């Protein structure tokens, strides 16, 4: 009653002010024929995606409007928009976001549509990210993982092979200029190779346990910190600038090695050190023991917004964008990894150096828990990781605080340890 009274009053007030009325959701309305696509890929990739999107629109007989959205704000922006019945028809969601959006009811259940009719061609791990409680909410766009990038000339000049373990990296560092050997990016996602390499993880979803403060993880962060204290690696201690400093330093040849994903190649090739693209070497991330390096599965999925005003066109659009042809084009031009097995058979894709270097890395990548809370696990870890690298806290107490934050704020029904 109170609510209705207020709504009436407020609506009356607003009514006098309304200049342009914008309607809410359009449930049941016929297809508008225009698909708005929110592309969260960066400046290097978005022109290619925008072009392929236009091609799809031309073939499918609908219009498409591609809007670039900042990746790090995209999840929040999408949620805000979707809550109000606004936003894109199709959204490029990071793999960890899909279960969360599905749980909150912001994306359409695609089970039973043409999109998920035949999924045999998709790689298993990326496809897993689109599932929530047994139903499918997305279509895989690209998959990726992290690998070790190295400057061939610098390593050759120092007589160093790409390290297979962190210990090898540490041993080789003096010959590569100590801190200039490697750049540790101060971000939670980039802590995962250290954690996975030690056999650690953030949570054990099957057993509903928080394992972020395990002994393995403590060792892992100590390894990362030790690279800094032993002057075998450098970092930017201001997390806000860490990634761009890493890109600038490696691109300019000031740092010999970094860990990063296939999306970063375009940045490096613009740098002075990689005017000759052949100078860029790619190897699996180092581990504790050789060959046991392990990096997280990443990537992106297409999702369709619940309440989209172009539901049929959106399905056609996603089908085209995730099709073999589009994926192969993306892989050829950008070196991003397709999620369809058939796309890897494309000769142009097979010839792409980045794809072939990353293919085994991606196949061996460590799966992440596809739970709605998966995307939220990074915020507390990011602060803890930065604190540990800055020497403000020891690994054990920092990770204990992360575990507590997971329990209190994110996964109350899980148990710690």
Distance in Å from the first CA to the final CA of the chain: 47
Q: Which residues contact 55 (CB under 8 A, 6 or more apart)?
A: 320, 326
Q: Judged by CB, which is closer to other proteins: 273, or 318?
A: 273
Residues 86 to 105 in contact with other proteins, rule: CB under 8 A: 86-88, 103-105
CB of 254: closest distance to other proteins in angstroms?
Answer: 8
> Scanning residues 361 to 390, which ones bind other proteins (CB under 8 A)?
376, 379-380, 383, 386-387, 390
CA separation for the pair 208, 299 (Å, rounded) = 24
Residue number with CB closer to other proteins (163 or 307): 307
Give the H/E segment covering residue 332. Answer: helix 324-334
Min separation Cβ 17 and other proteins, Å: 7
**79 near other proteins, judged by CB under 8 A:** yes
Q: Which of 114, 161, 238, 345 binds other proteins (CB under 8 A)?
A: 238
In whole angstroms, the minimum distance from the beta carbon of 335 to other proteins comes to 16
- Binding residue for other proteins, selected from 55, 109, 187, 204, defined by CB under 8 A: 187
Residue list 17-46, contact with other proteins (CB under 8 A): 17-20, 22-25, 36, 38, 42-43
**Orientation angle between helical segments 324-334 and 46-60, nearest 10 degrees:** 160
- Which of 29, 33, 51, 70 forms a contact with other proteins (CB under 8 A)? 70
188-197 vs 378-389: helix axis angle to the nearest 10? 80
Q: How far apart are CA 133 and CA 257, in angstroms?
A: 41
- Taking the least distance from each CB to other proteins, the nearer of 23 and 124 is 23
| Sole window of 1-9, 196-204, 293-301, 362-370 interacting with other proteins (rule: CB under 8 A) | 1-9
- Count the site residues for other proteins by CB under 8 A: 79
Minimum distance from CB of 24 to other proteins (Å)?
A: 4
Beta bridge partners of 340: 122
Is 76 a binder of other proteins (CB under 8 A)? yes
- The number of residues in the chain equals 417
Find the shortest distance in angstroms from Cβ 189 to other proteins. Answer: 9
Within residues 239-278, the interface with other proteins by CB under 8 A covers 239-241, 243-245, 248-249, 251-252, 254, 270-271
Least distance (Å) from other proteins to the CB of residue 167? 27
| Long-range CB pairs of 386-389, under 8 A, 24+ apart, other chains included | 386/186, 386/237, 386/239, 388/221, 388/224, 388/225, 389/184, 389/186, 389/224, 389/225, 389/228, 389/235, 389/237
Maximum separation of any 2 CA atoms in the chain, in Å: 78
Spatial contact of 172 and 388, defined as CB atoms under 8 Å apart: no
Local structure of 42: helix, strand or coil: coil
| From 32, 34, 55, 71, residue interacting with other proteins (rule: CB under 8 A) | 71
Q: How far is the CB of 248 from other proteins (least distance, A)?
A: 5
Cβ closer to other proteins: 4 or 417? 4
CB of 275 to other proteins, least distance (A): 12
Q: What is the per-residue DSSP string for 105-174?
A: T-B---TTSGGGT--TTB-HHHHHTTEETTEE--EEEEEE--EEEEEHHHHHHHT-PPPSBHHHHHHHGG
- Residue 301 pairs with which residues in a beta bridge? 93, 140
Mark the segment that binds other proteins (CB under 8 A) among 140-148, 196-204, 328-336, 399-407: 399-407
Work out which of 237, 283, 364, 416 binds other proteins, going by CB under 8 A: 237
C-alpha distances in angstroms, 346 versus 150, 165, 328? 27, 34, 7
Provide φ and ψ at 413, rounded to 5°: -90, 0
Please, which of residues 268-327 interact with other proteins by CB under 8 A?
A: 270-271, 306-307
Least distance in Å: CB of 343 to other proteins? Answer: 25
């Amino acid at each position: 009653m109170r609510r209705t009274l207020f709504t009436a009053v407020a609506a009356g007030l607003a009514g006098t002010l309304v200049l342009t009325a914008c309607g809410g959701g359009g449930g049941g309305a016929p297809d508008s024929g225009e698909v708005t696509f929110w592309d969260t890929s960066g400046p290097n990739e978005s022109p290619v995606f925008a072009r392929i999107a236009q091609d799809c629109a031309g073939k499918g007989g609908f219009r498409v409007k591609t809007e670039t959205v900042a990746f790090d704000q995209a999840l929040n922006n999408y949620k805000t928009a979707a809550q109000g019945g606004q936003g894109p028809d199709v959204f490029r969601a990071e793999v960890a976001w899909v279960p969360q959006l599905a749980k909150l009811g912001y994306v359409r259940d695609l089970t039973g549509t043409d999109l998920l009719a035949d999924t045999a061609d998709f790689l298993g791990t990326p496809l897993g990210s689109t599932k929530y409680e047994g139903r499918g909410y997305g279509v895989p766009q690209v998959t990726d993982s992290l690998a070790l990038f190295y400057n061939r000339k610098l390593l050759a000049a120092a007589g160093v092979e790409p390290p297979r373990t962190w210990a090898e990296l540490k041993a080789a560092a003096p010959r590569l200029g100590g801190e200039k050997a490697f750049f540790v990016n101060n971000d939670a996602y980039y802590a995962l190779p250290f954690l996975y390499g030690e056999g650690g993880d953030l949570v054990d979803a099957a057993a509903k346990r928080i394992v972020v403060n395990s002994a393995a993880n403590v060792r892992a962060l100590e390894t990362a910190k030790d690279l800094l204290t032993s002057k075998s690696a450098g970092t930017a201690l201001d997390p806000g600038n860490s990634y761009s400093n890493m890109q600038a330093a490696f691109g300019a040849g000031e740092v010999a090695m970094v860990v990063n994903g296939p999306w970063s190649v375009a940045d490096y090739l613009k740098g002075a050190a990689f005017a000759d693209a052949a100078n860029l070497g790619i190897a699996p991330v180092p581990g504790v023991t050789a060959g046991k390096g392990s990096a997280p599965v990443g990537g992106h999925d297409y999702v369709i917004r619940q309440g989209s005003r172009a539901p049929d066109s959106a399905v056609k659009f996603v089908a085209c964008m995730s099709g073999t042809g589009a994926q192969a084009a993306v892989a050829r031009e950008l070196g991003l990894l397709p999620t369809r097995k058939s796309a890897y058979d494309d000769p142009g894709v097979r010839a792409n150096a980045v794809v072939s270097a990353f293919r085994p890395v991606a196949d061996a990548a460590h799966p992440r828990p596809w739970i709605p809370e998966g995307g939220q696990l990074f915020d507390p870890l990011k602060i803890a990781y930065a604190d540990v690298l800055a020497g403000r806290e020891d690994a054990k107490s920092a990770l204990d605080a992360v575990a507590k934050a997971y329990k209190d704020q994110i996964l109350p029904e899980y148990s710690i340890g």
